[in-house]
Structure 1
Amino acid sequence: MEERLLGSEAKYESNLKGRIWTESKKLWRIALPAMLARVSQYGMFVVTQGFIGHIGDVQLAAYALIQIIAVRFANGILLGMSSATETLCGQAFGAKQYHMMGIYLQRSLLINIATGTVLLPVFIFAGDIFKLLGEDSDIAAKAGYISLWFIPILYFFVFCLTIQKYLQAQLKNIIVGWLSAVAFVMHVILSWIFVNLLNLGIPGAMGAMIIASWFIVIGEFVYLFGGWCPNTWNGFCLAAFVDLLPVLKLSVSSGVMLCLELWYNAILVLLSGYMKNATTEISAFSICLNIISWEFMLCFGFLAASSVRISNELGKGDAKTASFSVKVAIITATIIGTFFFIICLLFSHGITKIFTSSEEVISSVSSLSVLLALSVFLNGLQAVLSGVAVGAGRQTLVAYVNLCCYYIIGIPVGVLLAYVADMKVKGIWIGMMVGVATQVLTLGFITYKTDWDQQVDEATARLDRWLLKPSDESTGN
């Protein structure tokens, strides 16, 4: 009897290891291309900051303002709204409603193009906006000039992000990873030629980023229209204009969920601009945020992977596999977060020299190294838990969590520590950490209490409600 029990335990342990290995392969199949894409795409912003940072401190601070506030503002909305595509296409793929995925893509593109156009005034009048907010006049004026160069990048977000979500939902995002990697190399070469050899300054740095970014978008369209998605793309159809309102509602809740998270850091950078030594404080804080954001691009791979895995399994109706996938993703994110925690503690001083040669800024960044490392560790858990919510279509719930944790807890704590306790940038950062830690704990508790059978029922009801028969696509009936 005892031998039978031991044999049963060994079989279960072996089976568990096999399940973990199988699930890990599925996660990494999505995560690796997503990581490559996000790191390469964000890397172009970091490379541009590096070239502009060596032009001058004012230019660096101005670029930091426009990138972390205006660009993050727009990217937060568009990336968040694109996660509606991720939810709908992921669940449709799991349910084998392949023909609906192309329709969901077209609906999301219509909504996101309109949204991007509404956001245009933010970039056109960025300089005046920063002056009204009380930022340093020289920095605000230069930021207003740089913001005009970001208008083509705004529409890059619209097309690239939406198509990327559509492709990764059907496990075809490897093409986006390779396009992004090639674009990154192209961007580095063009930046060096335009800025260092031709001495074109800001126009050269921004022009290189525009060319490299749109190379990705053109490549995605070639892949989409070239017949590499035969089951999910049947061409443009009138059905794209049907049920736009419910898709818009899900897109808005998705946008609010993510932009509340991305705006959080932007508001903290804005607060650092009101300190006495604004140029140094903004530059130091923005460099730390860029290091975090670059690492967070890796975490976005797990956000994408957990989202696709959960949405696919919910679409299939498999609640147990969805729950198991969540556990494997959280364990993997924790291991990776620990690795980057150690890296940031050891090499933060050397990394800072990539962005600036100012000893004052380098010293300021070095004093934040412990907080930087802790933030990097929390990023992985935050991304996986957010990805689980996106996969289940629970963006509205997460939006409320982000609002409370970041804006009711994190920012007030940061303001008190920075201005009342006179801890300056370190105080703002501690406030940010408190908000992120509270969010991770809250989302962790919600995920732990989730009834996955109920989530399957909700996903099935959503897909059935919006389902169109293949013969109805062209007429939109």
Structure 2
Amino acid sequence: MGSALETLCGQAVGAGQLHTLGVYMQRSWIVCLATAAALLPLYVFTDPILRLLRQSPAISAAAGRYARWCVPQLFAYAVNFPMQKFYQAQSRVWAMTLISGAAVAAHALLNWLVVARLGRGLVGAAMVGNVSWWLINAAQFAYVVGGSFPEAWTGFSRNAFASLAGFLRLSLASAVMLCLEMWYYTAVLILVGCLKNPEIQVGAVSICMNYNMWTLMVSVGFNAAVSVRVANELGAKHPKAAKFSVVVAVVTSAAIGLIFTLVTLLARKQLPRLFTDVDLLVKETAKLGYLLAATISLNSIQPVLSGVAIGAGWQSLVAFVNIGCYYLVGLPLAAVFGFKLKLNATGIWVGMLIGTILQTVILVVILFRTKWEKEAMLAGERVRAWGGNVELPTIQETR
């Protein structure tokens, strides 16, 4: 829901309308906090929900206990995400990086103390996460109101409650686009949890997902950078610069992804031991090594393309692409390969991968067809609409 801010703030900075950023951020706080409140029952009732989805009682109970203790993080992230986009749109990334770096150091120390030394387990890990997230929020908010953004932040304003309907529509389109991507991987884990001997299968896939997330953070960085750059350049009516930013981001992220892919292939039998010393789990995880490498390679490109979509305001279009590729192709194939053909976790991962490949190909085709001059004009209209009263059509021929 907060990714609407990524489009609007970036394009407003490009158009020189810095005074709108503080109001945009406050609108996003309202929308994101309301969304967090709506999601609260999912955290409270995680255990019975997972049992209804036929997950094992042991996994459901542990996940439910952890989720309940993570509720403060839900609201912390609702506050944090809009601030992230406020910083990024103005290229104040280093300030945010220093704050996050200090928080990570404190987080690691607290985890060692509470989880490892005091033995508080999942509950301790959740409590440490709560403290870390709210420390980040406090530091970032202090920097915002401390006078470092004299044009963009002029204090709290009643205007934050104006044009909420239009802002909410763009927020919903952003949420659908991104949630469809993130829920795709969650759905894969749920499918794996329905297999025989789910603890080993879920453990193997979870380890692979962790490695994938580690490498994905690099391409997510490019996602944020290219979305801001594309939004800035389109808002400033520099279509050629926007197009060049896309090329640079995709090529650079793909090159780094290639390195991660090679490391994964060479160390696929050793990497699981960082997470577990159970030989059976190590063996099952190593079997997924080749698929993990392919996923890492693909995920060095796909998030960057999603970042371009956010910067240009194509959320609704990409949401439809995600529905088709992930939920009409990827997940059905995963179910067929995993259960019907009895390929278990490997088959489920193959189905997931096919859906991601199809989505990436379609996004590349959309980029090739894009008329960037038209997108720059649409960005100007979107900024003037004050929060996205309408999401204008894209990918049209220039007359």
Bucket of the pairwise TM-score, normalised by the shorter protein: over 0.9
Give the equivalent residue in structure 1 for 2:123: 203
Find the aligned partners of 1:282 and 1:160 in 2 and give their Cα distance: 30
Give the equivalent residue in structure 2 for 1:399: 319
Which one of the candidate residues 164, 189, 199 is aligned to 2:109? 189
Give the equivalent residue in structure 2 for 1:59: none
Do structure 1's residue 170 and structure 2's residue 96 form an aligned pair?
no
8 Å contact from structure 2 (residues 250, 304) kept in 1: yes
Structure 2 unmatched runs, 5+: 388-399
Residue 366 of structure 1 aligns with an amino acid whose one-letter code is A
Find the aligned partners of 1:328 and 1:447 in 2 and give their Cα distance: 14
Find the aligned partners of 2:174 and 2:116 in 1 and give their Cα distance: 41
Do structure 1's residue 117 and structure 2's residue 20 form an aligned pair?
no
> Which residues in structure 2 correspond to 1:274-423 (within 5 Å)?
274-423=194-343
Residue 245 of structure 1 aligns with an amino acid whose one-letter code is A
Which one of the candidate residues 179, 186, 193 is aligned to 1:259? 179
Residue 177 of structure 1 aligns with an amino acid whose one-letter code is T
Deviation track 1:76-96 (CA, whole Å, cap 9, x = no partner) reads xxxxx2111110000000000
What's the TM-score, normalizing by structure 1? 0.80
Residue 196 of structure 1 aligns with an amino acid whose one-letter code is A
Find the aligned partners of 1:176 and 1:351 in 2 and give their Cα distance: 31
Residue 28 of structure 2 aligns with an amino acid whose one-letter code is S
Find the aligned partners of 1:303 and 1:166 in 2 and give their Cα distance: 15
Find the aligned partners of 1:194 and 1:339 in 2 and give their Cα distance: 35
Residue 461 of structure 1 aligns with an amino acid whose one-letter code is E
Q: Which moved more, 1:147-156 or 1:346-355?
A: 346-355
Give the equivalent residue in structure 2 for 1:236: 156
Find the aligned partners of 1:308 and 1:258 in 2 and give their Cα distance: 17
Find the aligned partners of 1:458 and 1:300 in 2 and give their Cα distance: 25
Distance 1:227 1:349, change over 3 A: farther
Find the aligned partners of 2:167 and 2:364 in 1 and give their Cα distance: 27
> Which residues in structure 2 correspond to 1:84-99 (within 5 Å)?
84-99=4-19
Residue 157 of structure 2 aligns with an amino acid whose one-letter code is C
Aligned with 2:268: secondary structure?
A: helix
Aligned with 1:317: secondary structure?
A: coil
1:402 deviates by 0.6
Q: Which moved more, 1:202-211 or 1:323-332?
A: 202-211
Find the aligned partners of 2:270 and 2:346 in 1 and give their Cα distance: 20
1:276 deviates by 0.9
Find the aligned partners of 1:465 and 1:338 in 2 and give their Cα distance: 41
Find the aligned partners of 2:119 and 2:255 in 1 and give their Cα distance: 44
Give the equivalent residue in structure 1 for 2:145: 225
Aligned with 2:153: secondary structure?
A: coil
Deviation track 1:316-363 (CA, whole Å, cap 9, x = no partner) reads 011111111111112112211111110111223333222222211111
> Which residues in structure 2 correspond to 1:151-162 (within 5 Å)?
151-162=71-82
Structure 1 unmatched runs, 5+: 1-80, 468-477
Larger Rg: 1
Deviation track 1:259-284 (CA, whole Å, cap 9, x = no partner) reads 00000010010011111111011111
8 Å contact from structure 2 (residues 268, 286) kept in 1: yes
1:448 deviates by 0.6
1:293 deviates by 1.3
Give the equivalent residue in structure 2 for 1:60: none
Do structure 1's residue 135 and structure 2's residue 18 form an aligned pair?
no
Aligned with 2:299: secondary structure?
A: helix
Find the aligned partners of 1:195 and 1:243 in 2 and give their Cα distance: 46
Find the aligned partners of 1:321 and 1:454 in 2 and give their Cα distance: 14
Q: Which moved more, 1:193-202 or 1:217-226?
A: 193-202
Q: State percent identity of aligned pairs.
A: 40
Do structure 1's residue 433 and structure 2's residue 388 form an aligned pair?
no
Aligned with 1:226: secondary structure?
A: helix
Aligned with 1:234: secondary structure?
A: coil
Do structure 1's residue 102 and structure 2's residue 22 form an aligned pair?
yes
Find the aligned partners of 1:241 and 1:202 in 2 and give their Cα distance: 39
